[in-house]
Amino acid sequence: MTNCVRLVALATLFFACVMLLAAGTANASDVAPLNRYFKEIWTTRQGLPHNTVNSIAQTPEGYLWFTSWEGVARFNGNEFKIFGRDTTTGLPDVGTRASYLDQHGRLIIGGARGGLTTVKDGQWTPLVPVGVLINTIWVDQQNTMWIGTEGGGMFRQDADGTRQQWTMAQGLPSNTIYSFAKAPDNRIWIGTASGLVLWDHKQFTLVPTLRETPVFDLLNTENGLIIASENGVRRKVDDNFEFLHPQLQHVAVSKLLLDHQGCLWMGTVQQGIFRLSKRYGLEHLDAKQGMPSNRVLDIFEDKEQSIWIGTNGGLFRLRDAPFSTITTEQGLAGNYIRALLASENGDIWVGSSRG
């Protein structure tokens, strides 16, 4: 057999084996293992304004938006368009930290010097700045905007522009606010630098279990509230706040995302990302497996179900592609494959240059 014919035969066998693997995986579950995702990285070399990607959002027309310390980047899948401090955006500073897409498709952006601006259908509308770095923005069902800041407490802005501020003087345990989430009976969960607070619009009630613990992110799920903190991830069960997973008890978790398959993604302060799923349990990915940095600032799932991760070393995308590469990372003896054989029971034997 000539070398050419042998290569064609091997390629045909390989394709058949891949199809068998794909079919078996699809029948068992639609969830792919974390190490099978296709990885992509963008940095300033590819057009990002800054390698620290603070937040990620997607507007109805499909654009992805990234906030950074050197402006806002709009991404069309091919190139970035940068918006900074100018008359278009109305931002008082080029640095941007937070973004939020409200129920009307309006993107709200918060800046390093407290600048606030919105963009919808290409039209920018600046708002009155709050005068201090904005960590987070949240809009409730009544279209009330809640703004959490770094050192300035929290602000509430009504649709008519009326604004009110709360600080430690009004009962907050800290003037640094990281996150908001809806609570029952029109109350609000607030994640602060000194613990989790439940606010009933009259008083702040500190959760004793999380006293003096920075609470970075909050996520409402069908199984209850999930809390990402400096000391791991907890889930609210009745009146208790239980650790979600024993291996995460001492991990500082910065961001949470529940994807379309029910998998919980957790970004950390210095250990990359974790994913918790029913099929694979707890999985881990960090710079050793291709991330641009282990510090995660945001996690987002787009309309095509790709996972975007903002780090302080660049933008990282994980995509469950139709084809994936199986390498030594998944357990092969070597990456130079010489032979493949599918057995009758569905097993696949792989021969490489290293065994």
What are the sequence ranges of the domains in the chain? 1-32+332-355
pLDDT, residue 270, reads: 97
> Considering only CA atoms, which of 84, 113, 98 is closest in space to residue 55?
98
Indicate the residue type of 46.
Answer: Q
Question: Please, are residues 267 and 231 in contact by the beta-carbon 8 Å criterion?
Answer: no
Token duo for residue 227: 């809390």
Length reported for the chain:
355
Give, for all 355 residues of the chain, the pLDDT tens digit: 454 444 444 444 444 443 434 433 333 358 999 988 999 999 999 999 999 999 999 999 999 999 999 999 999 999 999 999 999 999 999 999 999 999 999 999 999 999 999 999 999 999 999 999 999 999 999 999 999 999 999 999 998 889 999 999 999 999 999 999 999 999 999 999 999 999 999 999 999 999 999 999 999 999 899 999 999 999 999 999 999 999 999 999 999 999 999 999 999 999 999 999 999 999 999 999 999 999 999 999 999 999 999 999 999 999 987 776 788 877 899 999 999 999 999 899 999 999 9
Query: Which parts of 142-193 are beta strand (E)?
Result: 145-149, 154-157, 163-166, 177-182, 188-192
Sheet holding 188-192, edge to edge: 177-182, 188-192, 195-199, 204-206
Question: Please, are residues 1 and 332 in contact by the beta-carbon 8 Å criterion?
Answer: no
Question: pTM of the entire structure?
Answer: 0.86
Angstrom distance (rounded) from CA 132 to CA 169: 17
Angstrom distance (rounded) from CA 121 to CA 59: 9
